[in-house]
Structure 1
Amino acid sequence: MRQDIDADYIHKLNKKFHDQEEAYNYDSRMGAMYDYESQQQTIKELESVLGHALPKGGTVVDVASGTGNLAVKLAATNWYKQVIAVDISERSLDVAHQNAHKMQTTIKTITSDMTILPFDDNSVDLVVGCAFLHHLPDPKTFMQEVLRILKPGGEFIIIGEPTTHGGQLIEIIKAPLVWINNLRRYFFNQRQQQMRWDHANIDVHDFNQQDA
């Protein structure tokens, strides 16, 4: 993992990038769908990582939820008292509400940079997250926050996190977005100067087996 990390800069950059780009492009770029079949596929993936059926009831928090891929699909099961999507990007959370509407469900949303999770100690039954840990400047402190908010016996499931080799795949997936940004700069020059994203400080980490 990198050592030259400026947490404040990374938070601000990630917020701007996800507000201006990913909120509007992520679902189409990643092929995210919001229907019963995709919901069942997501649940199957979560349960595969967890090793047993998802617990039901109580409060679920989808950390760094983005456009709500996990939160919306879990809310649509009606298994939980409350499903909360937490993300640094307000625009992404707006899209998450729209995606919830597609699945005829509702979620609660909270804006946070994940430095301190805005929940009481021992107050959450299940924490889930997808492809987000590599954006965080300090994932170890974040994990401590997850332990703090989980009730005794509560569970935390991460899916889609890039390994060192997976990081190379992420670069391939991200390439079309980078290409589009470059094309915009070419044609619109001054208007699109803000599109020159510092991707090295958006995707901060990848992970090896030793990091487990």
Structure 2
Amino acid sequence: LRITGIDLNKANIEIAKSERDFNKTDNVQFLVDDAQALMHIPSNSVDVMLNIESAFHYPDKPAFIKEVCRVLKPGGQYLIADILSMRKKREGLMKIWGKPMNHHFWNRKRYEEEFLKSDLVNNYSEDVTQQVMKGWSIYRNWIPKIKMNSFLQNVAFRIFYIINARLNITFLRSRQQYFIFAGYKPVSVYG
């Protein structure tokens, strides 16, 4: 079993490599790469592709879906966990912010259309919003157990994460859905 992790941010990759080395994990590699144009992953070379909570950052999500199809072996499986928009338009944010946001939310229908265009079979979709919101509530409970170096760091850390958790729960209740899509690259199309 070989595991490859990618991130655009070199600092994140260095942290991941440090953890890998600390845990003496020989079968894991980490690469700086772009999920929308995977330069370091050959075609038809991946058995399982996981993408968790990052696709909403991709400005060219159709390219990402095409890359998933390209790198998966025939019969290879994928799982994508993404935050979806329940709103038709995001014009209000554009007016406030004045430029496009760095989140590129799709709805379920758009994902299904792109899977079809790329020849990926999507045989499982589930809205797991309620479970994720429950997880955020539990997450808030362990924050007090984390200790920082100073009183001010402790206070700042707690405030940041409590606000972050509450914002995420609020958005999931009103504007977003947390979805899981899973499927495979058909063997019949590619061999």
Q: Name the structure with the higher helix share.
A: 1
| Shorter-normalised TM range | 0.3 to 0.5
Length-normalised TM-score, structure 2: 0.46
Q: Name the structure with the higher strand share.
A: 2
Length-normalised TM-score, structure 1: 0.42
